Amino acid sequence: MSDKNATITFDNQSIDLPILKGTFGDTLIDINPLGKLGDFTYDPGFTSTAACESKITFIDGDRGVLLYRGYPIDQLAEHSDYLEICYLLLNGELPNKEQIKAFTKNVTLHTMVHQQIYQFFNGFRRDAHPMAVMVGVVGALSAFYHDALDITDPKHRETAAYRLIAKMPTIAAMCYRYYNGLPFVQPQNEYSYAENFLHMMFSMPSEKWVSNPVLAKAMDRIFILHADHEQNASTSTVRLAGSTGANPFACISAGIAALWGPAHGGANEAVLNMLHQIGDVSRIPEFLKRARDKNDSFRLMGFGHRVYKNYDPRAKIMRQTCHDVLAEVGVQNDPLFKLAMELERIALEDPYFVEKKLYPNVDFYSGITLSALGIPTNMFTVIFALARTVGWISHWSEMVSDPSFRIGRPRQLYTGAATRDFVSIAKRSS
Ligand code: CMC
């Protein structure tokens, strides 16, 4: 807190509002004292409102900075792996050798799902969207693991975190296998987290599965880059649901539902759909023309970002991984990937995109990478949810373990009808 105050004067009353300063970032005015006057503020979309204090992730969109617990994302993506990032996000510090060993053991202990969940899957239509299945199955976990649902008990919270991190790849892979009529594959704890996911997705009972380190590394990077992103819509949803005291499985399921929307988790899927729509390198100029046209709703998917106005620090890392994967699987000459790379090249030189600082974002490269890994587009948001689970559970845990946490209860600006008396149906006009 700063020693300065802001003062607001309204209806002949003045009130001092404390000024808050975090480690970095903007100065904030604490509007909580306004409640004493019975006044509220109005800020639809939370564009100027910080809803909580957090020590987990920091973003500076103008400078292209993303820090997990103070560590720059590029350093983490280069030198760390997803399970280490999970430990960092949950506990605030990077683990030492013993800590990561114990953490990995605790996670792998929980990679299998309850046998009844297999039957639960059978209740879904085969052609259900994998996100529809995931949101239901994750919510249902609270019906299976109610031995550790006391959110006031730190041990229970820790067990719930292990269970969620461990079971998400298993459930995600089951969603894919069920959709495609393939037999479910049990987790193999000898593999790394990312390898295990690829194994559960793609191995066949009839053939020996061999891990590919380039593809496993790419999967791990995608998980790291999507692990947390501060107070976005799904994380805020998890916090709001959690503020009521709801159990963590229910809260994460709420987060998955929020992520599902095309304005949030659906962008990398939109990139692939756009590439199919463009169809051929020769049609790029036509679509660039449409993207520049104010009267045309077409936008180049995977370009631009609400927060990162100079560049998306995740995109830089994902670009390299994307090229590594394309080379490894030998699809550089596949028309779709050729088209993607040509689009990237032309858009980076196009004056409209350069002037408006519309760089390719992380979803441009992650969409192409996931596709090259053989993952169908309807699984992209499922994978995003898998990776983001640790961010959600870290925020939930941070909130719930704060003794001063209260139920979230936004107010509203009511613009409906004024008070009026009930009219019986016989007297209502037709
Ligand atoms: N294609 C063409 N023009 C664009 C695009 C685009 N992708 N993005 C922005 N513009 C133009 C926009 O028309 C506007 O022009 P003008 O100044 O003439 O009105 C200008 O650039 C600024 O755009 P904006 O709409 O004010 O920017 P925003 O911050 O509201 O939107 C965005 C950000 C990500 C929604 C937008 O860039 C977009 O729709 N991009 C495509 C979808 C996409 O890739 N989304 C994924 C974002 S990454 C998600 C994550 O963090 O995980």
User: Among 110, 226, 305, 395, which one carries the catalytic annotation?
Assistant: 305
Instruction: Give the whole-angstrom CA distance, residue 254 versus residue 237.
Output: 7
Mean pLDDT by 10-residue block, N- to C-terminus, for the chain (430 residues)?
A: 79 88 90 83 91 95 95 97 98 98 97 93 95 96 90 95 98 97 96 98 95 97 97 96 96 97 85 93 94 93 87 91 93 86 91 91 92 95 97 97 90 96 94
Instruction: Tell me how far the alpha carbon of residue 276 lies from the centroid of ligand 1, in angstroms.
Output: 20
Instruction: Give the whole-angstrom CA distance, residue 134 versus residue 98.
Output: 33
Estimate to the nearest angstrom the gap between the alpha carbon of 265 and the chain centroid.
Answer: 7
Query: pLDDT at position 9, please?
Result: 87
User: Among 81, 228, 312, 363, which one carries the catalytic annotation?
Assistant: 363
Instruction: Give the whole-angstrom CA distance, residue 393 versus residue 385.
Output: 12
Cα dihedral angle (196, 118, 182, 268), rounded to 10 degrees?
-60
Residue 305 Cβ < 6 Å to ligand 1: yes
Among this protein's residues, is 276 annotated catalytic? no
Instruction: Give the whole-angstrom CA distance, residue 222 versus residue 229.
Output: 13
406: left (phi over 0), alpha (psi -120 to 50) or beta: beta
Residue that the structure tokens 């539902």 belong to:
257
Query: pLDDT at position 37, please?
Result: 77
Cβ-based neighbours of 73, under 8 Å, separated by 6 or more: 66, 67, 224, 225, 313, 314, 317
**In this structure, which amino acid lies at residue 371?**
S
Instruction: Tell me how far the alpha carbon of residue 353 lies from the centroid of ligand 1, in angstroms.
Output: 10
Sign of CA pseudo-dihedral 173, 175, 181, 184? positive
Is the separation of the CB atoms in 382 and 134 below 8 Å? Answer: yes
- Which among 307, 300, 266 is positioned nearest to 285, based on CA atoms? 300
Neighbours of 153 (CB within 10 A): 12
Among 232, 356, 365, 383, say which to mutate for ligand 1: greatest number of ligand atoms within 8 Å of CB: 356
Instruction: Give the whole-angstrom CA distance, residue 43 versus residue 391.
Output: 25
Residue that the structure tokens 């987990």 belong to:
56
Residue 304 Cβ < 6 Å to ligand 1: yes
Among 275, 284, 295, 303, say which to mutate for ligand 1: greatest number of ligand atoms within 8 Å of CB: 303
3-state SS of 183-208?
Answer: CCCCCCCCCCHHHHHHHHHHCCCCCC
Residue 267 Cβ < 6 Å to ligand 1: yes
**In this structure, which amino acid lies at residue 172?**
A
Among this protein's residues, is 127 annotated catalytic? no
pLDDT digits (tens, 9 = 90+) for 18-45: 999 999 888 999 998 888 778 889 999 8
Burial of 202 (0-12, 13-18, 19+ CB in 10 A): middle
Bridge-based pairing of strands 65-68 and 57-60 is antiparallel
Query: pLDDT at position 73, please?
Result: 97
Cβ-based neighbours of 32, under 8 Å, separated by 6 or more: none
Strand partners, 6: 17
Is the separation of the CB atoms in 106 and 356 below 8 Å? Answer: no
Query: pLDDT at position 1, please?
Result: 60
Query: pLDDT at position 268, please?
Result: 84
Bridge-based pairing of strands 13-21 and 71-72 is unpaired
Query: pLDDT at position 42, please?
Result: 93
Q: Half-sphere exposure of residue 390, counting CA atoms within 13 Å on the CB side?
A: 27
Is the separation of the CB atoms in 391 and 228 below 8 Å? Answer: yes
Instruction: Give the whole-angstrom CA distance, residue 366 versus residue 272.
Output: 10
The secondary structure of residue 45, as a DSSP letter, is G
Residue 81 Cβ < 6 Å to ligand 1: no
Query: pLDDT at position 263, please?
Result: 81
Nearest residue by C-alpha to atom 41 in ligand 1: 301
The stretches of 153-283 forming alpha helices (DSSP H) are: 154-179, 193-202, 213-225, 233-242, 248-260, 267-278
213-225 and 193-202 helices, crossing angle to 10°: 110
pLDDT digits (tens, 9 = 90+) for 268-324: 888 999 999 999 999 999 999 999 999 999 999 999 988 888 888 999 999 999 999
Q: Which atom of ligand 1 is nearest to the CA of 314?
A: 51
Neighbours of 221 (CB within 10 A): 27
Instruction: Give the whole-angstrom CA distance, residue 421 versus residue 193.
Output: 62
Instruction: Tell me how far the alpha carbon of residue 304 lies from the centroid of ligand 1, in angstroms.
Output: 5
